[in-house]
Amino acid sequence: MQADNSSIERQIGTARVKRGMAEMLKGGVIMDVVTPVQARIAEDAGAVAVMALERVPADIRAQGGVARMSDPDMIASIMEAVSIPVMAKARIGHFVEAQVLQAIGVDYIDESEVLTPADEAHHIDKFAFTVPFVCGATNLGEALRRISEGAAMIRSKGEAGTGNVVEATRHMRAIRTAIRSLTTMASEELSAAAKELAAPLELVREVAAAGALPVVLFTAGGIATPADAAMMMQLGAQGVFVGSGIFKSGDPAKRAEAIVKATTFHDDPEMVAKVSRGLGEPMVGINLGELPDGQRLAQRGW
Amino acid sequence: MPDNGPVVGVLALQGDVREHQRAVSECGLRSALVRRPAELAEVDALILPGGESTTISRLLVAFDLMGPLRARLAEGMPAYGACAGMILLSREILDGTADQRTLAGLDVVVRRNAFGRQVDSFEADLEFEGIPGGTVRAVFIRAPWVERAGSGVEVLARVPEIPAAGGAAGRIVAIRQGCVLATAFHPELTGDRRVHQLFCEMVRRSRVGACR
């Protein structure tokens, strides 16, 4: 959305400004925090941004019930506590929660499957906002549908709150493999590919030509160790979201800093080994086989 | 590209590194990523990209780059900082974190997130001193501005003095001092390579004496 069409004045909320913000987060770690104290620990550890929320995904899982946007007071207290960007989550399709978050002044909105969806058919029209959105995806088609609705950044869904990286791996591989496959197709094959992906042909052509999404791709959902983060980066992620993995572990400050360093030096095994030493207890993980279908968050949204 | 031409390093601890690398290569110079002191020692110039300045500052300290980089700047290595890079190159930061360190490559005081939060991020056309061919499209993302500049600092661009600019009108957003160039905005995000060409020209000239 261009709030101002005059070229001699300033334009806010343009695609370049929204997507550009995500470009500045690349190579960095975005951490879930539930209090101002945690937010400062994250900032001190070198987080590029924090995600302000009332409960981390592991607790949402454990406590059940409907998970909603966090209390604006709580988000505002985190915005006051740190100088790095602050993100917050709105329910899938809940455009009024998104309006509220924009009114508070958060820097990025995550339209997130971690919260209980508010609309089973429609995602938020993200072009209608000045604030940029990040959305989860399990495959390329889903990523392109979100981009066609205005998402300025994509992340893998993974399986949040499990401390188990297997679903994030699946989603990162699915997205990257599908992109590679598009780059080898003849022009006339792209139309059928777009049909298969259930995504706009124009976007499919753009991805085929560039060999990459037109927006930044992060990973999320189950990252709990420096090696997890480094593996996702080697699989083509441009940065990492860590949800429950830091503040559900034994020594959050140390683990947070180690994950930041492992993300920067993801291709240097000696460095990843060095920062992985003596981190204390990781969060307790959940095997996906133990999760009943209804508790799989990645299946929310389309 | 000639094998003996200068190599422009891009600080690759965090941020939009690839975009700057692409811009350098489109200007006809070689580039290399810099994450370690040994890699810094091998480049002829350095770009500090956009990113989160507090994160990059911490990683500069953690990976023993702060001292060597200050030393190279003091020796006159050409450098260009965009947004976070401008903050890192400054002498003093307002609204930074308590322990945030700077490289003191430019005699300026910068204000971090000066234009506001992301919802206030914007793009606009700027007159840019020393860049021919009309205005430069400038993309400002949670951008800083220069609050005060020392007498040796050359001002290259300011926010236009228009009513829509409000309290930002006239603020300094592009500067040069000796071999160091900085912009509060992100020329790497537009296809226009004129700012990077200006820097690459400074790098070429530094090899035969002065940067300008």
pLDDT for A287: 86
Instruction: Give the whole-number percent of chain B exceeding pLDDT 90.
Output: 87
Say yes or no: A43 contacts chain B, CB-CB below 8 A. Answer: yes
Q: How far is CA A238 from the centre of its chain?
A: 11
Residue B1 lies in a domain: no
Q: Rounded distance, CA B186 to CA B191, Å?
A: 11
pLDDT for A233: 98
Judge whether residue A29 has pLDDT over 50.
Answer: yes
Q: Rounded to a whole number, what is the distance in Å from the CA of B170 to chain A's nearest CA?
A: 14
pLDDT for A193: 98
CB proximity under 8 Å: A 120-149 to B: 130-132
Residue B178 lies in a domain: yes
Q: Rounded to a whole number, what is the distance in Å from the CA of B5 to chain A's nearest CA?
A: 28
Among A33, A38, A85, CA closest to A253 = A38
Tokens of A81: 């506590």
For A210, half-sphere exposure in the C-beta direction (CA atoms, 13 angstrom radius) is 12
Among A74-78, A82-86, A278-282, which is the least confidently predicted range?
A278-282
Tokens of A127: 């072009």
**Averaged pLDDT for residues A233-260:** 96
Judge whether residue A293 has pLDDT over 90.
Answer: no
pLDDT for A1: 37
DSSP state letters, B91-116: SEEES--TT------SSEEEETTTT-
Judge whether residue B4 has pLDDT over 90.
Answer: no
Judge whether residue A2 has pLDDT over 80.
Answer: no
**Contact at CB, A12 and B119, closer than 8 angstroms:** yes
Higher pLDDT, A299 or A260: A260
**Contact at CB, B142 and A107, closer than 8 angstroms:** yes
Residue B212 lies in a domain: no
Residue B72 lies in a domain: yes
Closest residue on chain B to A28 (Cα): B14
SS3 A258: helix
Residue B133 lies in a domain: yes
pLDDT for B1: 60
Among A169, A110, A173, A114, CA closest to A140 = A173
pTM for the model: 0.96
Say whether B83 is catalytic: yes
pLDDT for B113: 96
User: Which residues, 6+ apart, have CB-to-CB distance to B153 below 8 Å?
Assistant: B106, B107, B108, B175, B176, B177
For B205, half-sphere exposure in the C-beta direction (CA atoms, 13 angstrom radius) is 13
**Averaged pLDDT for residues A225-254:** 96
Among A34-43, A218-227, B128-137, B159-168, which is the least confidently predicted range?
B159-168
**Contact at CB, B139 and A23, closer than 8 angstroms:** no
CATH number at residue B160: 3.40.50.880
Residues of chain A found within 8 Å of residue B15, distances taken between Cβ atoms: 24, 26-28
| A105-124 residues labelled b (16+ CB within 10 A) or e (exposed) | bbbbbbbbbbbebbeeeebb
Residue B119 lies in a domain: yes
Q: Rounded to a whole number, what is the distance in Å from the CA of B207 to chain A's nearest CA?
A: 31
**Contact at CB, B55 and A17, closer than 8 angstroms:** no
Q: Rounded to a whole number, what is the distance in Å from the CA of B190 to chain A's nearest CA?
A: 8
SS3 A88: strand
**Averaged pLDDT for residues A195-199:** 98
**Contact at CB, A48 and B14, closer than 8 angstroms:** yes
pLDDT band at A7 (very low <50, low <70, confident <90, very high): very low
**Averaged pLDDT for residues B18-25:** 98
User: At CB < 8 Å, which residues of chain B contact A?
Assistant: 12-17, 19, 35, 50-52, 54-55, 58-59, 62, 83-84, 95-97, 112-113, 117-125, 139-142, 160, 162, 164-165, 186, 189-190
Domain span including residue B129: 7-206
Residues of chain A found within 8 Å of residue B112, distances taken between Cβ atoms: 83
Residue B181 lies in a domain: yes
Do A283 and A245 form a contact (C-beta atoms < 8 A)?
A: yes
Number of domains in chain B: 1
| B24-63 residues labelled b (16+ CB within 10 A) or e (exposed) | beebebbbbebbbeeebeebbbbbbbbbbbbbbbbbbebb
Higher pLDDT, A4 or B52: B52
Average pLDDT for chain B: 95
Q: Rounded distance, CA B52 to CA A24, Å?
A: 7
Closest residue on chain A to B140 (Cα): A17
Average pLDDT for chain A: 94
**Averaged pLDDT for residues B41-52:** 98
Among A227-236, B154-163, B183-192, B193-202, which is the least confidently predicted range?
B154-163
Residues of chain A found within 8 Å of residue B83, distances taken between Cβ atoms: 24
**Contact at CB, B51 and A46, closer than 8 angstroms:** no
Among A52-56, A159-163, B95-99, B198-202, which is the least confidently predicted range?
B95-99
pLDDT band at A283 (very low <50, low <70, confident <90, very high): confident
ipTM of the shown complex: 0.96
Do B177 and B167 form a contact (C-beta atoms < 8 A)?
A: no
Residue B211 lies in a domain: no
Number of cross-chain residue pairs from A and B with Cβ atoms under 8 Å apart: 126
Q: Rounded distance, CA A15 to CA B178, Å?
A: 35
Write out pLDDT tens, residues B131-161. 999 999 999 999 999 999 999 999 999 998 8
